[in-house]
Amino acid sequence: MEVIVHKYGGTSVGTPEKIKKVAERIARVKREGYEIVVVVSAMGHTTDELIDLMHKVTDSPDPREYDMLVSTGEQVSAALLAMALQSLGCPAISLTGGQAGVVTEDIYKKARIKEVKLDRLKKELKEDKVVVITGFQGIDSEGNIITIGRGGSDTSAVAIAAALKAQVCDIYTDVDGVYTADPRIVPEARKLKTISYEEMLELASLGAQVLHPRSVECASIYKMVIHLRSSQKEDEGTYIGEAPRLTTFARGKEAGKMEKKEAVRGIALDENIAKIGILKVPDKPGVAAELFGALAKEKINVDMIVQSIHSSGTQADMAFTVDGADLKKALEVTEKAAKKLGAGGVVSDPKVCKVSLVGVGMVSQPGTAAKMFETLAENKINIQMISTSEIKVSCVVAAEAGKRAVQLLHKAFGLDKISQ
Amino acid sequence: MEVIVHKYGGTSVGTPEKIKKVAERIARVKREGYEIVVVVSAMGHTTDELIDLMHKVTDSPDPREYDMLVSTGEQVSAALLAMALQSLGCPAISLTGGQAGVVTEDIYKKARIKEVKLDRLKKELKEDKVVVITGFQGIDSEGNIITIGRGGSDTSAVAIAAALKAQVCDIYTDVDGVYTADPRIVPEARKLKTISYEEMLELASLGAQVLHPRSVECASIYKMVIHLRSSQKEDEGTYIGEAPRLTTFARGKEAGKMEKKEAVRGIALDENIAKIGILKVPDKPGVAAELFGALAKEKINVDMIVQSIHSSGTQADMAFTVDGADLKKALEVTEKAAKKLGAGGVVSDPKVCKVSLVGVGMVSQPGTAAKMFETLAENKINIQMISTSEIKVSCVVAAEAGKRAVQLLHKAFGLDKISQ
């Protein structure tokens, strides 16, 4: 019998009523003749409430005890979902990550999953039960409860699906799929039927709210097809995977489309960035290492980096972007480094954003970047920084121009017309 | 180093503030040079809240999933208490029942503890940590989470203390010890410094709210001394144990007192009972078996049973008491049995109560029962039923006479004067 893995997020199991609705869907799919494993998050705001409670006890919680505490949230929702299934006459059992054989590294709060031991899981599936597993957690070799960090339940679901060689990992969420652009910005944005792992990773800023990059990485390693879909309706969402496997799910026409490699498949907008410039840096080896080493030491993630030769010839200007929330800290570090390096000065701008075109076909269609620049120039949108990869072109522009840039590019590349 | 086990109930860890206070006490005892293991219940009404949530999902919860659900309550309080200890600079770690090696039978909701495997516990104690263990739960041989029924956390604490050969099991609670009578009824009631297991079990109606009989049974098997004391103050409470071991704790004088065996050590009042009479039952073998077998089948606990020969000589009247909550069901069963047995009729009275004198010395002082009857008679309190054991005399009297009976007996036996 084929195994299917379902994953439901906190909103989908936020109330007893919603839990019952989710149970109905699972029972229906079970009747269609599948073995089903369900991975659940904690109900609604449970995790936040536990963390609030924790902060009333201590300011500096021990990571081990943090994991012990917050892991209870998923245990509650898993037990309740199993009960809801049973009351529909659908045999079910809930398992903690540990009971389900999810073994992690022994790094509290952000471990990676090392292995999923399938003995117990397979035994329960054999007994015709739906197995409901607590997402976001596993145990280390000593039996300690360990959580696996942000986006954890998605990753749990994909890892368990991979271990079980499931047909597909259905991730049920608030949105009904991946779009060519954020529909709130581009009303004509179209839902993509399929998307590759690489594209999905690059479109993280579109998908981050609904699917954590780590789960996509994990899926790409094990070639697990993720079906990102709405927990509110029965429509198909977006299949994330590799073309050969996606043909199993998507209609023939669609699979063919994948092979043709559309140049641009989606446009992402990241408004949560800030730009820092360091001026007149002596143009000598070790400068970048000094600056970015200092930033890395403070755990500040640097995204785009641009270095340009200054007119003087012996000096360079450098610019880079960081997460908006890191700007203050990043500025301190940069100013210290600038002094040490004898640079001319440091400037910053929090009012910028990043517009990116994403598509695996871009590599074979070199005109894409040029067309992007042209479109922005025609519309008087000034490009402050550029960065390109094989499947992406990103431009930093003024914050107030971001949404308009996405709309213009969506139209220019015909994303509203192409059946994706 | 000597090991001490502390147990804190739900009220004692009901808020973050109370958890911090409990942590302060533990840290202080730790500094005195003990190894400490702490067993905690769920915070305040957590368990009830989880059960409410459950009833919104299902009317007939599966026992396994019930245990999975409610066991999270203790996990939360254990993690928070460990954090509170750490923030006081006291090394600590929380362990679930399973992690702590508490192995139970595989009977959900009401298992008995089979074994406490000490490997992990001893390792953590060796590392100088306070070990905080979730009460009320363990795991079966398959790793399923199993709760151990009402009074569970007290029993967990005693079992863990016994396995560790702890010096004493300190059970911190709302009351500050065991009294000669309920102080709300008898203001002159005195706190007992020591009490034997048998007496404590018989005084269950005094102690039931604070200490479950199962934990006392468990303690008596392993000769573990329980120190029942207040979580609000530092005063000593009541030590529950056997005379030889109690001498370690109580002053010499007190220990001597134990040997002298006071006839009456406490008076209990159980107001939550009802009386059923079955009249003119044919006096032949198998009658009691028929009736009480039928009651047992319905899981109705019968306490006192009195059978008297009826004047006719070939018939008997029988009377027995049941828990007040069981009266309706018990009456149905009794009426059915009465018809089958050809009895004369069934009567019942919910307005009765049971007054009991308890003391291990009673067996060697035969005048106790007589003095009790005399005292009640002098005060015009009619005795409806009598039952005696080696360490107890119980009388059923009218409900409205119960409190007065306790007050009169407390005075008559000089319990207000004797230094207990």
What is the domain-level CATH number for residue A312?
3.30.2130.10
Q: Residue A71: which H helix or E strand, with range?
A: none
Of A216, A236, A259, which residue constitutes the final position of a domain? A259
Locate the chain A residue with the closest alpha carbon to B99: A143
Q: What is the pLDDT of residue A353?
A: 94
Q: Does A57 contact B143 at a Cβ distance shorter than 8 Å?
A: no
Query: Which of A107-116, A196-205, B239-248: highest mean pLDDT?
Result: A107-116
Could you say which of A20, A54, A98 has the minimum Cβ distance to residue B80?
A: A54
Q: A47: which chain B residues are within 8 Å (Cβ-Cβ)?
A: none
Q: A93: which chain B residues are within 8 Å (Cβ-Cβ)?
A: 64-65
Q: What is the pLDDT of residue A248?
A: 67
Could you say which of A75, A98, A120 has the minimum Cβ distance to residue B72?
A: A75
| Residue B157 domain flag | yes
Q: A40: which chain B residues are within 8 Å (Cβ-Cβ)?
A: none
Locate the chain B residue with the closest alpha carbon to A86: B62
* Chain A residue set in contact with B, beta carbons under 8 Å: 16-17, 19-20, 50, 53-54, 56-62, 64-66, 68-69, 71-72, 75-76, 78-80, 82-84, 86-87, 93-94, 96, 98-99, 120, 142-145
Q: Tell me the nearest-neighbour CA distance from A226 into chain B, angstroms.
A: 29
Q: How many CB pairs under 8 A join A and B?
A: 113
Do A282 and A174 belong together in one domain? no
Q: What value does the mean pLDDT take over residues A170-188? A: 91
Query: Which of A404-418, B57-71, B250-264: highest mean pLDDT?
Result: B57-71
Do A32 and A171 belong together in one domain? yes
| Domain span holding position A337 | 267-412
| Local confidence band at B261 (pLDDT 50, 70, 90 cut-offs) | low
| Residue A419 domain flag | no
Could you say which of B76, B99, B142 has the minimum Cβ distance to residue A69?
A: B76
Q: Does B79 contact A69 at a Cβ distance shorter than 8 Å?
A: yes
Q: What is the pLDDT of residue A299?
A: 85
Supply the mean pLDDT for chain A: 90
Do A296 and A331 belong together in one domain? yes
Mutation target to probe the B interface, by most B beta carbons within 10 A, among A53, A57, A70, A131 is A57
| Residue B172 domain flag | yes
pLDDT at A160 over 90: yes
Q: Does A86 contact B72 at a Cβ distance shorter than 8 Å?
A: no
Q: Which two tokens stand for residue B243?
A: 């005379």
Locate the chain B residue with the closest alpha carbon to A14: B53
Query: Which positions ≥6 away from B153 have C-beta within 8 Å?
Result: B7, B9, B39, B40, B41, B74, B135, B136
Q: What is the pLDDT of residue B20?
A: 97
Q: A53: which chain B residues are within 8 Å (Cβ-Cβ)?
A: 16, 76, 80
Q: Is B77 left (phi over 0), alpha (psi -120 to 50) or beta?
A: alpha
CA B300 to centroid of chain Cα atoms: 19
Q: What is the pLDDT of residue A48?
A: 93
| Local confidence band at A214 (pLDDT 50, 70, 90 cut-offs) | confident
User: Would you say B168 and B5 are in contact if contact means Cβ atoms under 8 Å apart?
Assistant: yes
pLDDT in tens, B156-212: 999 999 999 999 999 998 888 999 998 999 999 999 999 999 889 888 655 446 688
Q: What value does the mean pLDDT take over residues A284-309? A: 85
Do A297 and A372 belong together in one domain? yes
Q: What is the pLDDT of residue B277?
A: 93
pLDDT at A168 over 50: yes
Q: Does A99 contact B72 at a Cβ distance shorter than 8 Å?
A: no
Q: What is the pLDDT of residue B206?
A: 55
Do A188 and A336 belong together in one domain? no
Q: What is the pLDDT of residue B419?
A: 57
Q: What value does the mean pLDDT take over residues B305-319? A: 79
| Residue A342 domain flag | yes
Q: What value does the mean pLDDT take over residues A18-28? A: 96
Strand ordering across the sheet containing B3-8: B92-95, B130-134, B35-40, B3-8, B168-173, B226-230, B238-240, B194-195
Q: What value does the mean pLDDT take over residues B367-394? A: 90
- Rounded Cα gap, residues A134 and A97, in angstroms: 6
Q: A20: which chain B residues are within 8 Å (Cβ-Cβ)?
A: 57
Q: What value does the mean pLDDT take over residues B84-108? A: 96
Q: What value does the mean pLDDT take over residues B5-10? A: 96
Q: Does A57 contact B84 at a Cβ distance shorter than 8 Å?
A: yes
pLDDT at B420 over 50: no
User: Would you say A50 and B76 are in contact if contact means Cβ atoms under 8 Å apart?
Assistant: yes
Do A25 and A54 belong together in one domain? yes
| Residue B136 domain flag | yes
| Local confidence band at A306 (pLDDT 50, 70, 90 cut-offs) | confident
| Residue A29 domain flag | yes
Q: A60: which chain B residues are within 8 Å (Cβ-Cβ)?
A: 87
User: Would you say A73 and A145 are in contact if contact means Cβ atoms under 8 Å apart?
Assistant: no
Q: What is the pLDDT of residue A419?
A: 56
- Rounded Cα gap, residues A290 and A285, in angstroms: 10
Q: What is the pLDDT of residue A418?
A: 63
User: Would you say B174 and B230 are in contact if contact means Cβ atoms under 8 Å apart?
Assistant: yes
Question: How large is the C-alpha radius of gyration of chain A?
Answer: 24
User: Would you say A104 and A114 are in contact if contact means Cβ atoms under 8 Å apart?
Assistant: yes
Q: What is the pLDDT of residue A236?
A: 92
pLDDT at A253 over 60: no
Q: What is the pLDDT of residue A290?
A: 86
Do A161 and A42 belong together in one domain? yes
| Residue A186 domain flag | yes
| Local confidence band at A252 (pLDDT 50, 70, 90 cut-offs) | very low
Q: What value does the mean pLDDT take over residues A22-50? A: 96
Could you say which of B56, B68, B120 has the minimum Cβ distance to residue A16?
A: B56
Do A137 and A155 belong together in one domain? yes
Q: Tell me the nearest-neighbour CA distance from A25 into chain B, angstroms.
A: 15
pLDDT at A364 over 70: yes
Span between the terminal Cα atoms of chain A, in Å: 32
Q: Residue B169: which H helix or E strand, with range?
A: strand B168-173
Q: Residue B267: which H helix or E strand, with range?
A: strand B266-282
Q: A143: which chain B residues are within 8 Å (Cβ-Cβ)?
A: 98-99, 120
Locate the chain A residue with the closest alpha carbon to B61: A83
SS3 state of residue A65: helix
Query: Which of A289-298, B157-166, B358-367: highest mean pLDDT?
Result: B157-166
Listed residue (B8, B3, B217) closest to B133, CA to CA:
B8
pLDDT in tens, A55-88: 999 999 999 999 999 999 999 999 999 999 999 9
Rounded to whole angstroms, what are the CA distances from A183 to A95, A187, A359? 38, 5, 18
Q: Tell me the nearest-neighbour CA distance from B245 into chain A, angstroms.
A: 37
* Chain B residue set in contact with A, beta carbons under 8 Å: 16-17, 19-20, 50, 53-54, 56-62, 64-66, 68-69, 71-72, 75-76, 78-80, 82-84, 86-87, 93-94, 96, 98-99, 120, 142-145
Q: Does B82 contact A68 at a Cβ distance shorter than 8 Å?
A: yes
- Rounded Cα gap, residues A181 and A405, in angstroms: 11
What CATH number is given to the structural domain containing B123? 3.40.1160.10
Q: A82: which chain B residues are within 8 Å (Cβ-Cβ)?
A: 62, 65, 68
Mutation target to probe the A interface, by most A beta carbons within 10 A, among B58, B64, B66, B85 is B58
Q: What is the pLDDT of residue B209?
A: 63
Window from A32-36, A270-274, B365-369, B406-410 with minimum mean pLDDT: B365-369
Listed residue (B401, B409, B149, B397) closest to B273, CA to CA:
B397
| Local confidence band at B316 (pLDDT 50, 70, 90 cut-offs) | confident
Q: A142: which chain B residues are within 8 Å (Cβ-Cβ)?
A: 120
Share of chain A above pLDDT 90, in %: 66
User: Would you say B320 and B302 are in contact if contact means Cβ atoms under 8 Å apart?
Assistant: yes
User: Would you say A14 and A43 are in contact if contact means Cβ atoms under 8 Å apart?
Assistant: yes
pLDDT at B303 over 60: yes
Query: Which of A171-185, A206-220, A247-261, A358-372: highest mean pLDDT?
Result: A171-185
Q: Which two tokens stand for residue B389?
A: 């054991």
Q: Does B19 contact A57 at a Cβ distance shorter than 8 Å?
A: yes
| Residue A16 domain flag | yes
- Rounded Cα gap, residues A325 and A18, in angstroms: 34
Q: Tell me the nearest-neighbour CA distance from B32 into chain A, angstroms.
A: 24
Q: Does B62 contact A83 at a Cβ distance shorter than 8 Å?
A: yes
Task: Quote the DSSP letter at residue B186.
Answer: -
- Rounded Cα gap, residues B378 and B357, in angstroms: 17
Number of domains in chain B: 1
Do A13 and A127 belong together in one domain? yes
Q: What value does the mean pLDDT take over residues B332-343? A: 92
Could you say which of A54, A78, A94 has the minimum Cβ distance to residue B83?
A: A54
Do A207 and A282 belong together in one domain? no
Between strands B3-8 and B35-40, the pairing is parallel
- Rounded Cα gap, residues A239 and A177, in angstroms: 8
ipTM for the assembly: 0.81
Sign of the Cα pseudo-torsion (A245, A250, A252, A254, in order): negative
Q: What value does the mean pLDDT take over residues A23-36? A: 96
Q: Does A19 contact B57 at a Cβ distance shorter than 8 Å?
A: yes
Could you say which of B75, B80, B143 has the minimum Cβ distance to residue A53?
A: B80
| Local confidence band at B153 (pLDDT 50, 70, 90 cut-offs) | very high
Q: B60: which chain A residues are within 8 Å (Cβ-Cβ)?
A: 87
Q: What is the pLDDT of residue B418?
A: 63
Between strands A266-282 and A315-323, the pairing is antiparallel
Q: Does A19 contact B69 at a Cβ distance shorter than 8 Å?
A: no
pLDDT at A255 over 50: no
Could you say which of A60, A62, A72 has the minimum Cβ distance to residue B75?
A: A72
Q: What is the pLDDT of residue B50?
A: 96
Q: What is the pLDDT of residue A258?
A: 47
Specify the higher pLDDT residue, A289 or A208: A289
Q: What value does the mean pLDDT take over residues A266-270? A: 91
Q: Does A20 contact B57 at a Cβ distance shorter than 8 Å?
A: yes
Q: Does B58 contact A143 at a Cβ distance shorter than 8 Å?
A: no
Q: What is the pLDDT of residue B252?
A: 45
Do A175 and A311 belong together in one domain? no
